[in-house]
Amino acid sequence: MAGTGEEAVPSGQMQSGHGVDAGKLEQHFEETIARDRRIEPRDWMPEAYRKTMIRQIAQHAHSEIIGMQPEGNWVTRAPSLRRKAILLAKVQDEAGHGLYLYSAAETLGADRADLTNRLITGTQKYSSIFNYPTLTFADVGVIGWLVDGAAICNQVPLCRSSYGPYARAMIRICKEESFHQRQGYELLLTMMGGSQVQREMVQDATNRWWWPSLMMFGPPDAESPNTEQSMRWRIKRHTNDDLRQRFVDMSVPQAEVLGVTLPDPQLRWNDARGHYDFGQPDWAEFKRVIAGDGPCNAQRIANRRAAHEGGAWVREAAAAHAAKQAARAAQREAVA
């Protein structure tokens, strides 16, 4: 827009709010949120909101990117061409989800290369669930059923996040997650209709993934100090414990249809509450895995780092090719 001194950059730039009454800007921001309207990239926003959103979106993006590895482990050993095609499509979706989210983080001023660097140097986290190994092909099914099922519980409310680009990315992601969960459940149904060994594989995978899946909702509410602020900003719509309960209530009947037992002796229907009672995951283990001491933390980061560094020559070659083409086009234009 000429004459305003306003630079036009739709993504990756921010308003400083210099020279304007900061109190008024904050009031406008708060009112926008209170009316359940979305905050858009170039709106004024409190620094803490921006920082929190960048951290939340970046961690989510990293989780999708690292999330390709546990299942990617089985692509070459999928038992049929059908399962391999499905698994490839799913892993490709995870990459896509990571990219939608990095794109959303960049609208807040985050830099893509910096985010990648933070992931491979371990200075930003990703979901602890992806630090567990995939031991058999049944794990592919259980990840679709439980891990993606838990992700859906977490993500559906985020489609109404107050930050517009994040909410829009989540709508796209949730549509695709539904395929992920259903392919996993169907895979398990197929295995449960197979041999005794296959049924045991499904039960074993369920036993190993159930508790880490419950951990995906984060620590209990009493130990989640940021929840209140996040709910006020409408970047979180339900507490960790509420979402965990919702997930348990959804999963129990699904386990029954499948014919597997969920590995929780305290799991039973509570008529008074109208919900299932259930036991708590091992929160000490959760903290250990988050801190870097899970079964696969080092391997996941090493793989990501190797892929990134191994791809450097491709990125450089593409940039060199683009520069050459641009130079030639300029030359042609000069001659013509």
Partner 1 sequence: MTSTGEAVPTEVGQARSNWPLFEVFLRSKRGLNHVHVGSLHAADATMALHHARDLYTRRNEGVSIWVVKAADITASSPDEKDPFFAPSGDKVYRHPTFYDIPDSVPHI
What does the per-residue mask of binding to partner 1 show for 127-166, with x meaning CB under 8 A?
A: --------------------------------------x-
Whole-number Cα distances in Å, 85 to 39, 89, 322: 39, 6, 33
User: What six digits make up the tokens of 154?
Assistant: 């977490």
Q: In this complex, which beta carbon is closest to partner 1, that of residue 135 or of residue 298?
A: 298
Q: In this complex, which beta carbon is closest to partner 1, that of residue 182 or of residue 315?
A: 315
316 lies in the site for partner 1, by CB under 8 A:
yes
319 lies in the site for partner 1, by CB under 8 A:
yes
User: What six digits make up the tokens of 161?
Assistant: 């996040």
308 lies in the site for partner 1, by CB under 8 A:
yes
User: Of the candidates 231, 318, 327, 330, which one interacts with partner 1 according to CB under 8 A?
Assistant: 318
Cα separation, 61 vs 88, in Å, equals 19
Q: In this complex, which beta carbon is closest to partner 1, that of residue 40 or of residue 277?
A: 40
What does the per-residue mask of binding to partner 1 show for 167-206, with x meaning CB under 8 A?
A: -xx------x------------------------------
User: Of the candidates 8, 81, 272, 335, which one interacts with partner 1 according to CB under 8 A?
Assistant: 8
User: Of the candidates 3, 10, 19, 310, which one interacts with partner 1 according to CB under 8 A?
Assistant: 10
CB 166 within 8 A of CB 239: no
12 lies in the site for partner 1, by CB under 8 A:
yes
**Closest distance to partner 1 from the beta carbon of 71 (Å):** 17
SS3 for the chain is CCCCCCCCCCCCCCCCCCCCCHHHHHHHHHHHHHCCCCECCCCCCCHHHHHHHHHHHHHHHHHHHHCHHHHHCCHHHCCCHHHHHHHHHHHHHHHHHHHHHHHHHHCCCCCHHHHHHHHHCCCCCCCHHHHCCCCCHHHHHHHHHHHHHHHHHHHHHHHHCCEHHHHHHHHHHHHHHHHHHHHHHHHHHHHHCCCHHHHHHHHHHHHHHHHHHHHCCCCCHHHCCCHHHHHHCCCCCCCHHHHHHHHHHHHHHHHHHHCCCCCCCCCEEECCCCEEECCCCCHHHHHHHHCCCCCCHHHHHHHHHHHHHHCHHHHHHHHHHHHHHHHHHHHHHHHC
Q: In this complex, which beta carbon is closest to partner 1, that of residue 10 or of residue 225?
A: 10
15 lies in the site for partner 1, by CB under 8 A:
yes
43 lies in the site for partner 1, by CB under 8 A:
yes
CB 148 within 8 A of CB 184: yes
> Which positions ≥6 away from 321 have C-beta within 8 Å?
none
User: Of the candidates 312, 334, 335, 336, which one interacts with partner 1 according to CB under 8 A?
Assistant: 312
User: Of the candidates 14, 88, 252, 267, which one interacts with partner 1 according to CB under 8 A?
Assistant: 14
42 lies in the site for partner 1, by CB under 8 A:
yes
11 lies in the site for partner 1, by CB under 8 A:
yes
Q: Which stretch binds partner 1 (CB under 8 A): 12-20, 63-71, 211-219, 250-258?
A: 12-20
Q: In this complex, which beta carbon is closest to partner 1, that of residue 40 or of residue 256?
A: 40
What does the per-residue mask of binding to partner 1 show for 58-97, with x meaning CB under 8 A?
A: -------------------------------x--xx--x-
Cβ atoms within 10 Å of 241's Cβ, excluding its own:
16
Residues 94-123 that bind partner 1 (CB under 8 A): 96, 99-100, 103-104, 106-107, 109-114, 116-117, 120
**Interface positions with partner 1 (CB under 8 A):** 1, 4, 6, 8-16, 28, 40-44, 54, 89, 92-93, 96, 99-100, 103-104, 106-107, 109-114, 116-117, 120, 165, 168-169, 176, 305, 308-309, 312, 315-316, 318-319, 321-322, 325-326
